[in-house]
Amino acid sequence: MTLVHAENPPGSEHAWQRAVIGADAYYGLVLAATTGVVLATSGGGDRVLAVSALAAMAPWYIGVGRPAVRGIPVPARTRWYVLGLIVLLGVAQAADQWSSLALFALCPMCFVLLPAWPATGAVAAFNLVPVLKLAGDPGAALRAAGVAAGLVTFAATFGRWIIRIVEQSRERAELVAALTATQAELARAEHQAGVLAERQRLAGEIHDTLAQGFTSILMLLHAADAAATPQQARTYLSQAARTASENLAEARGLIATQQPAALQESSLAEALGRLAGQLAEETGIAASCAVTGDVRWLPSAVEVTVLRCAQEALANVRRHSGAATVALGLEYRSGAIELRVRDDGAGFDTARQRGTGLAGMDQRVAKAGGSLQVNSAPGNGTTLTAELPA
């Protein structure tokens, strides 16, 4: 018996729904066996009538019963199916008492399709005709009524167990459907969060590398345009070309999701030293880099974070500070690494002025499990300190 709600999604069928082939086979086997017994034990018109009624149960099951569903209130299709079974079985029982063997299939079916009390009533109706046939013999009728009462009691007890199984199966199916929907929603949310995180990562990488490189190129080109001598102009243009080449390498690294170009063939300390030297060469700012502690290789994420912080800090010095000197300090500790960038520039009010560069730097450091501090005041320079676990 299929007995499936039309709105059930694929994969949500109950255990008794998945056993449809076995249920169909059981129902057909019982009808065939009952028909065989009737043919073997009866004769004349009674046999023809009983066999005809039993045979009619097969198309009635295929056309009406198989698509029937369980529900409260009982669906119209289900009510008509059970009523049709009562009539067909009654006709068969009136013609031949052996037709009652079909109850082995019909009684469980009633409890699958109907709530407990309507199913019990249907089973009682199935057993009514054999009792009425013996109405002329009070003793036999009483015995038949006792047997029918016992059958109804057994069917009701067994049927309630069937109903509990059906309800538990439905509850499990609803729970599985809810869990599946929740998993799908979580998967969508995780995908969206991943997309957003990747966009933020790329935005930070572009800001910390390509955007700063383009700013440097523009400044060098303006300096070349305003140079007093052709030699100075060539120097600025050479520096702009070198910065463009480095930007190209950074862009390729971003596309390939590789380490920054500055870290691919050198240590973090060497990369910071080059940053300081490049700043000094391009701007004339006296830039230095000091490394203390036990220099060692660190996890890639930590080194990239330190490098990006240094790049952003020096870019701010270049664009905003008007500093004459800047000092980078990199300290390796047993369980951490600290980057310090100090300049003697104009400074700023940290409570009011905090641009996207510092905000992005703060997010990057926090994501790596570290902390960022910016100490500055107008006219007193700026000190940026980033500490990360190593």
pLDDT at 325: 92
Q: Which of residues 3 and 48 earns the better pLDDT score?
A: 48
pLDDT at 356: 67
pLDDT tens-digit profile of 348-366? 888 776 666 788 888 888 8
Mean pLDDT of the chain: 81
pLDDT at 355: 65
pLDDT at 4: 40
pLDDT at 5: 40
Average pLDDT over residues 102-115: 85
| Whether the Cβ atoms of residue 376 and residue 350 lie closer than 8 Å to each other | yes
The percent of residues in the chain predicted with pLDDT above 90, rounded, is 17
pLDDT at 256: 58
pLDDT at 290: 93
Using CA atoms, how far apart are residues 23 and 237, in angstroms rounded to an integer?
A: 86
In sequence order, the 6+-apart residues with CB closer than 8 A to the CB of 62 are none
| Whether the Cβ atoms of residue 263 and residue 304 lie closer than 8 Å to each other | yes
Among the ranges given (46-55, 116-125, 242-251, 337-346), the one the predictor scored with the smallest mean pLDDT: 242-251
Q: Identify the burial level of 370 via C-beta atoms within 10 angstroms of its C-beta, where 0-12 means exposed, 13-18 middle and 19 or more buried.
A: buried
Domains and their CATH numbers in the chain: 15-184 (no CATH), 267-390 (3.30.565.10)
Model confidence at 170, in pLDDT bands (50, 70, 90)?
Answer: confident
pLDDT at 231: 85
Model confidence at 219, in pLDDT bands (50, 70, 90)?
Answer: confident
Among the ranges given (203-207, 228-232, 296-300, 379-383), the one the predictor scored with the smallest mean pLDDT: 203-207
Cα dihedral sign, 278-360-383-372? negative
Average pLDDT over residues 164-190: 84
Helices (H), 207-229: 212-225
Model confidence at 288, in pLDDT bands (50, 70, 90)?
Answer: very high
Model confidence at 6, in pLDDT bands (50, 70, 90)?
Answer: very low
